[in-house]
Chain A
Amino acid sequence: MIIEDNFRQEFYNKIKKGDKSVVLIVSVDTDALCTTMILTHLLRCDDIPFSILAVEGWSSVEKIFADSQEQKCHYILINCGATRSLTRLQIPPASIAFVIDSHRPFHIENVYENGQIHLLANPSEMSELQIPDLESVIREDSDDEEDSDEDEDQEYISYEQRMEKIRRKAIKREEMQIWERQRRTILWRYYESTWFSSPSCVTLLEMAAEMNRVSAETMWFTAVGLNSAMADKLISIEMYTQICVDRMRPFVHRFMPKNIVNQGKVDDLLHITFGRELPLALYSHWDLFSAMMVSEYFSIKTKNWTQKGDVNIRHLLAQLGITLHETKQKFEALPTEQRNLVVDVLEKEMDSSFATFFGTLGYCGKLSACDVARAVTLRLEMPKSETIMNRFRSGQSILRSSITGERQDRLNLNNTFTSICQRTLQVSWKTVAAAINQSEIIPNGPYYLFSCSRSIDEDMVDSRHFLYNTAGFMIRAFASMKKGRTTKPLIAMFPLTGESAGWLVVTGVMPIATIYEDSLLKTCIGRAFERVKKMTPPLRIVDDYFNSDIIRLKSEDRTRFIDFLQTVFEGTSN
């Protein structure tokens, strides 16, 4: 069932009762990590013991359930569990599950069929969810059986009565068939697209505020989780801005420096400000030239993967009045005045209204939540050779190190920025550049297909951040090269190496035209993949990820997959 409001009563106080042990099942993504940090803070304040298990796919969740069938637990699933039926995953009968997941849509069985499962949702999104009524999707079957039993008992019934009964049964059967057809249509429409709602960390921040347990750290965690949802392209900038304005505003005022006792003098407390920022990833820890080169906006504007790219860049910089020398220097090395000037010019050029949260602590410089979000995400998602829990703990320590104010921690953070984040951005750009220059993006009927021929760093290619960002960048870059490329989706395939050699990881993005239509970034790619999986003869597909639009495909089945997908896309009116 769905819990729409009063989370404190319906969710937290039930856990607080202490009659069952508390187990957090956490997906390995930044929003889930931030939500966990806030939730565990609350649990520790109330002296409630808990356990944390990190998971990366549905099979891990199933295994956890399988290992604890006799136990009575309160399972709290964070950013997993909403989109597939938990009943079918064999949730232990004596346990209760609370699902705080930003994946949508909810699986119908989780909503209606099982009293053990409680889904937390925001009241503002209820209309968007368009959950079908109970009667249209779940049917009580018991009536039919009763009728047939009655028949057998009574031997002595008249001919007319018997005919009447048969007629009634026929009508009922027909009604059932109509109802079934309607149900199929309703569910078809309901499950058509997948999208993300507001990040779970914001929900938990509001619940913590109700309990008067919000500190600057809590707010910082929420800021990072929120920014990660935007950096991973899960929510649109409009939705992000709306959440910042509507839901984060009261907190922003609380933790700004001027409201604190010490009147703005430099102190060791964490202060959070909300301000405008260039939507240029990591530029303040890099040099402008490199940051601009890998950014979607500037890369597409100057088409810097083509031979004319260099010339275009020089033109653009000249236009903006920025010297090449300025851009090639480390940004921190520029004098403050110059920095502000350049940022102003670039902001006007990019014409964005992006604003984010900055954390300051003592004498350490301002840190943007967006950059920290990227660092945490990448640390959580790579290297895949590390165990899930190790990555979870590393992500935790990076998140914490952004607010300790200790020099060593700040150095580690900067190290992560340079070694992992910048590298990922560069690899992403290189992939897109190669794809376009070597014409690797082929139109294949109703969609564009990109088959990556070279192998990319094994750790990187399996990460959601890399896949979503690269695919989105690619389709935009591709569309910028020629007119008329905005109406078809792009499917991208990358070969895996090492242990998973022989498999491809496949993902896709919706056509550009649709992206501008709704601010929820709804995608049907996941559904398309599901339908391909059901076709015969069955392909070897592993769809274990919580995001249905990322799957693994056996390389040998590639050609058939491409054909099946074509059929699926042609079948539905896009």
Chain B
Amino acid sequence: MNAERCEFIAGNSLIEVIPSISDDRPIHLISGDIGPFEAGVPCRIPVWTAILMKRKHNCKVVAPQWMDVDELKKILTSETESQGLAKLPDHFFEISHMLVRDAREDIFEVEAVKSLVQDIYDRRDAKLRSSAIEFLRQNQTCHAQLDNVQLIEASSARATLEACRQMGAVVRNKHESTPL
């Protein structure tokens, strides 16, 4: 699991768009049906479909409710105030990244949104790092509990923790195979 695959999974979540083309036939996908489309009528489709349609100038994306400057400011405040991690909407970072990259005309005040999401990411990243250091420092016990970790944060933390574990194994190995 890495960032690219997290984004792939996030692509499955639904988002509202306003198509600019009309098509009577629904599209049958493995995960369900999409459409039929009628120009100007909002409908919910997976994010990956929305991005593809946006690239072909076939729809206008409606930013999710949480992607609003005031909402994001609230999230940032709660993130700053609490010790642990705040609860975020699912696939928060992946969806923001995809929409800012491919649908920026449809996001209101896209610059402010970008910087707020970045701030939220940085705050959480700092907390995760200090938590990881605490965890590795443990001598007797070896467990930790952290709520509200996003999938993408877990996958990047996994790489670091895995590397630390391997380093520990190498160090132990060295001690065991010291020449007599």
Verify whether A and B have any Cβ pair under 8 Å.
yes
Chain A residues within 8 Å of B, Cβ to Cβ: 44-46, 212-213, 215, 260-262, 265-269
Asked whether A268 lies within 8 Å of B111 as measured between CB atoms, the reply is yes
Asked whether B20 lies within 8 Å of A262 as measured between CB atoms, the reply is no
- Bound-state Cα–Cα, A260 to B57, Å: 17
Decide: A45 near B55, CB < 8 A? Known: A212-B20, A260-B105, A269-B105.
yes
7 tightest A-B CB contacts, nearest first:
A45-B56, A213-B57, A267-B111, A267-B110, A212-B57, A262-B109, A261-B108
Which residues of A are found within 8 Å of B57, using beta-carbon distances?
45, 212-213, 215
Nearest neighbor of A215 in chain B, beta-carbon distance: B57
A-contact 0/1 string along B47-74, CB 8 Å cutoff:
0000000011100000000000000000
27 A–B pairs (Cβ distance < 8 Å), ordered by A: A44-B55, A45-B55, A45-B56, A46-B56, A212-B20, A212-B57, A213-B56, A213-B57, A215-B57, A260-B105, A261-B105, A261-B108, A262-B108, A262-B109, A262-B110, A265-B111, A266-B111, A267-B104, A267-B109, A267-B110, A267-B111, A268-B104, A268-B110, A268-B111, A268-B114, A269-B104, A269-B110
How many interface residues does B have (CB within 8 Å)? 11
Nearest neighbor of A267 in chain B, beta-carbon distance: B111
- Bound-state Cα–Cα, A269 to B105, Å: 7
Which residues from 92 to 134 on chain B have a C-beta closer than 8 Å to any C-beta of chain A?
104-105, 108-111, 114
Which residues of B are found within 8 Å of A44, using beta-carbon distances?
55
Which residues of B are found within 8 Å of A268, using beta-carbon distances?
104, 110-111, 114
Which residues of A are found within 8 Å of B56, using beta-carbon distances?
45-46, 213
- The distance from the CB of A217 to the nearest CB of chain B, in whole angstroms, is 12
List 7 additional A-B contacts (Cβ < 8 Å) besides A46-B56, A262-B108, A269-B105: A44-B55, A45-B56, A267-B109, A268-B110, A268-B114, A269-B104, A269-B110
- Bound-state Cα–Cα, A44 to B58, Å: 13
Chain B residues within 8 Å of A, Cβ to Cβ: 20, 55-57, 104-105, 108-111, 114
- Bound-state Cα–Cα, A6 to B110, Å: 38
- Bound-state Cα–Cα, A262 to B105, Å: 9
Which residues of A are found within 8 Å of B55, using beta-carbon distances?
44-45
Nearest neighbor of B110 in chain A, beta-carbon distance: A267
Which residues of A are found within 8 Å of B108, using beta-carbon distances?
261-262
Asked whether A265 lies within 8 Å of B20 as measured between CB atoms, the reply is no
Nearest neighbor of A208 in chain B, beta-carbon distance: B57
- The distance from the CB of A268 to the nearest CB of chain B, in whole angstroms, is 6
Which residues of A are found within 8 Å of B109, using beta-carbon distances?
262, 265, 267
Which residues of B are found within 8 Å of A46, using beta-carbon distances?
56
- Bound-state Cα–Cα, A267 to B110, Å: 7
Nearest neighbor of A362 in chain B, beta-carbon distance: B111
Which residues of B are found within 8 Å of A265, using beta-carbon distances?
109, 111
Which residues of B are found within 8 Å of A261, using beta-carbon distances?
105, 108
- Bound-state Cα–Cα, A325 to B108, Å: 46
- Bound-state Cα–Cα, A46 to B55, Å: 10
Question: Which of A46, A213, A267 counts the most chain B CB atoms within 10 A?
Answer: A267
Which residues of A are found within 8 Å of B105, using beta-carbon distances?
260-261, 269
Nearest neighbor of A260 in chain B, beta-carbon distance: B105
Which residues of B are found within 8 Å of A267, using beta-carbon distances?
104, 109-111
- The distance from the CB of B36 to the nearest CB of chain A, in whole angstroms, is 20
- Bound-state Cα–Cα, A260 to B114, Å: 18
- The distance from the CB of B110 to the nearest CB of chain A, in whole angstroms, is 6
- The distance from the CB of A266 to the nearest CB of chain B, in whole angstroms, is 7
Nearest neighbor of B105 in chain A, beta-carbon distance: A269
Which residues of A are found within 8 Å of B20, using beta-carbon distances?
212
- Bound-state Cα–Cα, A266 to B112, Å: 10
- The distance from the CB of B3 to the nearest CB of chain A, in whole angstroms, is 20
- Bound-state Cα–Cα, A215 to B114, Å: 22
Which residues of A are found within 8 Å of B111, using beta-carbon distances?
265-268
